[in-house]
Amino acid sequence: MFKKILIANRGEIALRVIKTCKLMGISTVAIYSEADQKSLHVRLADEAYFVGGSRVKDSYLNIDKILEIAKESNAEAIHPGYGLLSENPDFARKCEQSGLVFIGPKPEVIAQMGSKIESRKMMEKAGIPIVPGITTSIENSSEAILAANEIGYPIMLKASAGGGGIGMQIAHNEEELIAAFEGNKKRAQDFFGNGEMYLEKYIESPRHIEIQVLADQQGNSVYLWERECSIQRRHQKVVEEAPSSFIDEETRWKMGETAMKAVKSLGYDNAGTIEFLVDKNKKFYFLEMNTRLQVEHPVTEEITGIDLVMEQIKIAYGESIAYSQKDIQRKGHAIEVRIYAEDPKTFFPSPGKITKLRIPEGSQIRHELGIEENSVVTPFYDPMIGKLIVTGANRTEAIENLQSALKNYEIEGIKTNITMLKEVIAHPAFRYGDTTTDFITKYIANKK
């Protein structure tokens, strides 16, 4: 097994990887920016190295410096976490060229799935159902109008290299499409260095349901059931749960088998997630594949008892998956909410010093936190500061446990989305399971 792993990330995900590495007896190397010198992940890792200035481009995206630190520290492998460089094929390739193991899939697979246009083409070729739309990039608004007229409104404008809702916008008519095109193209270019845009048919009030997969280098693969991630704000997930309260066992099996078909068509290895949109009739369509660990991975761990980070490390080391599909059981229900340092009314970031932090404890409560009391939340990074995960014997019990936990969750000094999360969880539609992607717009945001 690896003796030392460098974690090319920060915050709660860096701490999550450190936790599993300690269980496995693996030493950890943290990297930190100027703004993160006093962060928890720096203190809890076995070693920590300064990587650069506060801005991500000067630090956590500085590939050459990260590789230099890996060599200096004698790390054997790099875990990228999620976000930042986790789906950067150049980083994965340079790790390999430097004699380091990248804990993730092959660079060429990351590149293929990183382009939503290319991934649509590949999945269509493999016989995986995709959302109706186009599989070529749109150069200008005139081309977009022609394509939209062929697909039919409403349509979803998307950035091919996008993520986190960036570069996405719904258009109900030609005027809205023209207004949205140039701005989203520019945003995609600024954020991802790639302004390619394409169009999909917008599916009204869908569910966002994803299948967690694991595949080893020997060709074995399994799926660890589904997560429902339909409650989103600005196309970014806020509440995730497993299992889904919407799909039935037949649909669950079909989605799992479809995910396996996709994995095998790619020659994929390590952890990954096949994301689907599911309509009101339980018909599902491939949305995208995330070639990394997901923010919401804890809910899968809670219902299966499988440590996904440990599996990632074992697979990267060359070990085979130690169980078959029939061995993977589901137990109980788990719900995760993302805690953001943001104004719950505007969703604008709320940086500042955390003057008080009180978190609930209990056997059915799990925290993934990147902060502590007196931590400073800077404006340089994603405003997510942690996650609260609760479990229950069933969904009703999990909801009750989550309500109790949120009631006793206190953060002072900054604004957070906790009040909004309380509203979501308490809403009758959530309890009923009416958790479509327009939930916040439909039930929460418009009620302010």
- Encoded tokens for 366: 């799990």
> Is 303 in contact with 330 (CB distance < 8 Å)?
yes
> Is 67 in contact with 38 (CB distance < 8 Å)?
no
With b for 16 or more beta-carbon neighbours within 10 A and e for fewer, the 255-274 pattern comes to: bbebbbebbeebebbbbbbb
3-state DSSP assignment of residue 276? strand
> Is 339 in contact with 361 (CB distance < 8 Å)?
no
Could you give the count of Cα atoms lying within 13 Å of 174 in the half-sphere of its Cβ?
7
Q: Are strands 77-79 and 236-242 parallel, antiparallel or unpaired?
A: unpaired
Whether the upstream peptide bond of residue 154 has omega within 30° of 0, thus cis, is yes
Active-site annotation holder among 10, 292, 338, 395? 292
Active site residue 366: no
3-state DSSP assignment of residue 102? strand
Q: Cα angle at 213 between 211 and 217, to 5 degrees?
A: 160
3-state DSSP assignment of residue 347? coil
Residues 419-422: contacts with CB under 8 Å, at least 24 apart:
419/344, 420/238, 420/344, 420/444, 421/238, 421/239, 421/337, 421/339
Could you give the count of Cα atoms lying within 13 Å of 211 in the half-sphere of its Cβ?
29
- Encoded tokens for 225: 């059931």
Residues marked active site are found at 292
